[in-house]
Structure 1
Amino acid sequence: MTRTFLTGGTGFIAAHILDKLLEADHSVVTSVRSHEKGQWILKNHPGVSKDKLSYAIVEDIAKEGAFDEAIKSDPPFDTVIHASSPFHFNTNDSKKDLLDPAIIGTTGILKAIKRSAPTVKRVVITSSFASIIDGSKGMRPGYVYSEKDWNPVTEDEAVQNASLGYRASKTFAERAAWDFVEKEKPNFTLATMCPPLVLGPIIHHLQSLDSLNTSNQRVYNIMSGKAKEELPPTGTFLWIDVRDLAFAHVRAASMEEAQNKRFFITAGYFSNEEIADIIRDNFPERKEKLPAKGVKGGGYPEDGLYKYDNSRTKKVLGIEFKSLKESIVDTVKSLEAAGA
């Protein structure tokens, strides 16, 4: 049985990774910020024994040495999946709220593994398409993004606003991880997952719909009437279902072929207009709250759009992507179950 340490188990993506790990017969310890959150995870998995699922408290991943004690285990860990990193734009201090947690959290856990968990052989880190795309180039029609691309954002740009701060946090954190492996020559290999917008059902603990993860916020806004008069710009036109992304993490943690590789994980294109159409077609009872078909906004850019190369993900990890329809329908159902 593989023993795995998962960071941030109450997060939107990490909660799905946790379930995929348990399905794959891993023994999992997940980090949480409080005993309350840890107990919620245990209560949400009532049939899972203590030797298969437990938690460790890591209150602040941006503190040096935050993971030093949590990473020590008996029996020892074989694998680490680091999925804990902030994704929001609600900040006036990008360094404190975005850059430090992402960068220090990533380098901190790698240092802790090397220092205190020599049995760990494989590490998987949740990065982002934000570390690939060059936002300064706009829609860049015809250009093909792949794992070879790196966002050229600078430290000066990173503190200008929250959007740049988020993209920089993912870029700098992932670069720091690859630099660590190159310079420190640890016993473990590294794989990084670079998804664009992540959609799909919520299974993590949600205090209220006000604390909904940023990516699913757009689905909630459309289904609840906040975009009835005009659909907002789509922004990033690539997406992935959270369950496919979670599966990719677990596959990367178990496959020799995935070691020391980046993975650009996307199912393809989407638009807010398509999301509205799917909700309208599958939830007719919400028709009065939804924007009418053909309403202004939410479509694709008239001048074209960048392309993508997800061949490594399909070839190495063997992912068969869920459709946008399946993802949105399941997302809406989960949001309705949460009170939307």
Structure 2
Amino acid sequence: MRVLLTGGSGFIAAHVLDYLLEHGHSVVTTVRSQEKAKKIKEAHPNVSKDKLDFALVEDIAKESAFDETVKSDPPFEAVVHTASPFHFNVTDIQKELLDPAYIGTVGILKSIKKSAPTVKRVVITSSFASIIDPFKGNWPEHTYSEADWNPMNQEQALKDAPSGYRASKTFAEKAAWDFVEKEKPNFSISTMCPPLVLGPIVHYLNSLDALNTSNQRIRDIMMGKAKDEIMPTGTYIWADVRDLALAHVKAMEVPEAANKRFFVTAGYFSNKEIAQIIAKNFPQYKDKLPTDKTPGGDYPEGGVYKYNNKRVQEVLGVKFRPLEESIVDTVKSLQAVGA
């Protein structure tokens, strides 16, 4: 298939790109700068231009940002949209979180409908943030699945940056489903809803200072920031970035994935378990790591929500990696950039 991949230099997208190429697809990926394109190209030296090319999209939050990008010769048959802002150092929640996520998602769907009639499948990176009910706390009696939606409204979204982030994912995903329902385009959509995404970084795009938010906790534990007290885990479920990336590609390939949400999670984890895995596999960090007696980082006493991740396994055939494998591979990838 000929595929447009947005946000090609992102943590998830870099792994999606690997799977797309491995599965024999021909890919154009959007980047914000020529420098990023050069780095991605250099990392795939044996891939020809007809299998991997680039398009510059500097600002996904601009109306019609993707109008020209979705035009291609040969034409695109699928789009994997991973580009979206995720960081909490914002001053204007509406402008820096809500607008880019919403406009970026609806904008690309409009552009595809208008200018790329050959596209049959669009896969969108959403988040567990659009599933979780943030007002219910740990909610141990509840099982989250694709049927759940975050009930936040506009007013609640503007309260603080974490609320803004959660709302941005929720509003953007809802807008995508509304678009398909109202506009009846030629394509179907699938949305991916992962919780915390851990796993190896792609070294050619990353430095220790520019890690995705989820992997920062692994770096911090390695560097001794949890020695006296382990930071709270926050979200108690996770997915490995490679399993998530494969799920994106399979959702594009498998006919049964059309018009479905996918709650992509491997299961539970805690920061304490991360520290224990690092200690077990990397004795060189022993002096920086907490011991079994160090407080914090564990599961809540009353328990935590349950999850149903059957759809990803049954429809997409994705098998989830265990936590230990994911953490070990992540630590190795961080060592490769100087940890």
Q: TM-score with structure 2 length normalisation?
A: 0.99
Partner of 2:258: 259
What's the secondary structure of 1:297's corresponding residue? Answer: coil
Q: Does 1:282 align with 2:286?
A: no
Partner of 2:187: 188
For 1:63, give the aligned amino acid. K
Partner of 1:226: 225
Cα distance in 1, alignment partners of residues 29 and 99 from structure 2: 21
CA positional deviation for 1:207: 5.2
For 1:10, give the aligned amino acid. S
Cα distance in 1, alignment partners of residues 305 and 35 from structure 2: 44
CA RMSD of aligned residues (A): 0.8
For 1:27, give the aligned amino acid. S
Alignment of 1:1-340 (within 5 A): 2-203=1-202, 205-206=204-205, 208-340=207-339
Cα distance in 1, alignment partners of residues 315 and 206 from structure 2: 37
What's the secondary structure of 2:117's corresponding residue? Answer: coil
Cα distance in 2, alignment partners of residues 293 and 306 from structure 1: 25
Cα distance in 2, alignment partners of residues 297 and 240 from structure 1: 22
Cα distance in 2, alignment partners of residues 121 and 205 from structure 1: 32
CA positional deviation for 1:96: 1.4
After superposition, what is the alpha-carbon deviation per residue over 1:56-86, rounded to whole angstroms, capped at 9, x for unaligned? 0000000001000111100000000000011
Cα distance in 2, alignment partners of residues 268 and 208 from structure 1: 28
Q: Indicate conservation of the 8 Å contact 1:220/1:335, yes or no.
A: yes
CA positional deviation for 1:178: 0.2
What's the secondary structure of 2:135's corresponding residue? Answer: helix
Q: Indicate conservation of the 8 Å contact 2:12/2:82, yes or no.
A: yes
CA positional deviation for 1:204: 5.5
Cα distance in 1, alignment partners of residues 25 and 312 from structure 2: 22
Q: Indicate conservation of the 8 Å contact 1:123/1:189, yes or no.
A: yes
Cα distance in 1, alignment partners of residues 48 and 207 from structure 2: 29
CA positional deviation for 1:93: 1.4
Cα distance in 2, alignment partners of residues 50 and 60 from structure 1: 24
CA positional deviation for 1:92: 2.0
Cα distance in 1, alignment partners of residues 221 and 171 from structure 2: 33
What's the secondary structure of 2:191's corresponding residue? Answer: strand
Cα distance in 1, alignment partners of residues 91 and 126 from structure 2: 22
Q: Indicate conservation of the 8 Å contact 1:244/1:321, yes or no.
A: yes
CA positional deviation for 1:141: 1.0
For 2:210, give the aligned amino acid. S
After superposition, what is the alpha-carbon deviation per residue over 1:247-285, rounded to whole angstroms, capped at 9, x for unaligned? 000000011110000000100000000000000000001
Q: Sequence identity, in percent? A: 68
Cα distance in 1, alignment partners of residues 62 and 3 from structure 2: 22
> What is the aligned length?
339
What's the secondary structure of 1:86's corresponding residue? Answer: coil
Cα distance in 1, alignment partners of residues 94 and 282 from structure 2: 41
What's the secondary structure of 1:240's corresponding residue? Answer: strand
Cα distance in 2, alignment partners of residues 272 and 99 from structure 1: 29
Q: Indicate conservation of the 8 Å contact 1:10/1:205, yes or no.
A: no
Cα distance in 1, alignment partners of residues 195 and 338 from structure 2: 27
For 2:249, give the aligned amino acid. V
CA positional deviation for 1:39: 1.1
Q: Indicate conservation of the 8 Å contact 2:94/2:158, yes or no.
A: yes
What's the secondary structure of 1:156's corresponding residue? Answer: helix
Cα distance in 2, alignment partners of residues 5 and 194 from structure 1: 20
After superposition, what is the alpha-carbon deviation per residue over 1:6-51, rounded to whole angstroms, capped at 9, x for unaligned? 0000000000000000000000000000111111111110010000
Q: TM-score with structure 1 length normalisation?
A: 0.99
Cα distance in 2, alignment partners of residues 155 and 232 from structure 1: 30
Q: Is there any run of 5+ residues in structure 2 with no aligned partner, and where?
A: none
